[in-house]
């Protein structure tokens, strides 16, 4: 796999995975990406991306049971994901 493509799409992929699960932990994101790209990503790649998304107010953090951190999309994050999906579909409308 071309990991340069991943780097340019990591935020989109994270937003999509969070939306798919409605709320998810960082570990679950790492695990799901590993299944999809056949490579274990370093937490030093995922957590800074999550921090950037949080600073942009695209995701929010929730604590459950006092220890686990769950991420969910904000309304702004849902709008960004929808816009990104629209761009993707326009670019690749002919993929079957």
pLDDT of residue 2: 47
Beta bridge partners of 68: 64
Segment 80-85 mean pLDDT = 90
- Domain residue spans of the chain: 3-91
Q: Read off the pLDDT of residues 58-73 as tens digits, 9 standing for 90 and up.
A: 999 987 767 788 999 9
Q: In this predicted structure, what is the pLDDT of residue 96?
A: 64
Calculate what percentage of the chain has a pLDDT beyond 90.
39
Q: Are 23 and 7 in contact (CB under 8 A)?
A: no
Q: With beta carbons less than 8 A apart as the criterion, state whether 17 and 70 touch.
A: no
pLDDT digits 0-9 by tens, 16-44 = 999 998 889 988 999 998 888 888 888 88
CATH T-level assignment (fold) for domain 3-91: Arc Repressor Mutant, subunit A (1.10.10)
Q: For the CA atoms of the chain, what is the radius of gyration?
A: 14
> In terms of pTM, does the model score above 0.85?
no
């Amino acid at each position: 796999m071309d990991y340069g493509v991943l780097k340019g799409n990591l935020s989109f992929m994270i937003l999509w995975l969070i939306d798919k699960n409605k709320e998810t932990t960082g570990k679950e994101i790492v695990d799901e990406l590993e299944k999809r790209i056949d490579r274990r990503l370093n937490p030093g790649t995922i957590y800074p991306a999550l921090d950037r998304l949080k600073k942009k107010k695209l995701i929010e953090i929730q604590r459950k049971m006092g220890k686990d951190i769950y991420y969910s999309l904000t309304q702004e994050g849902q709008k960004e994901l929808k816009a990104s999906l629209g761009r993707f579909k326009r670019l690749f409308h002919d993929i079957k």
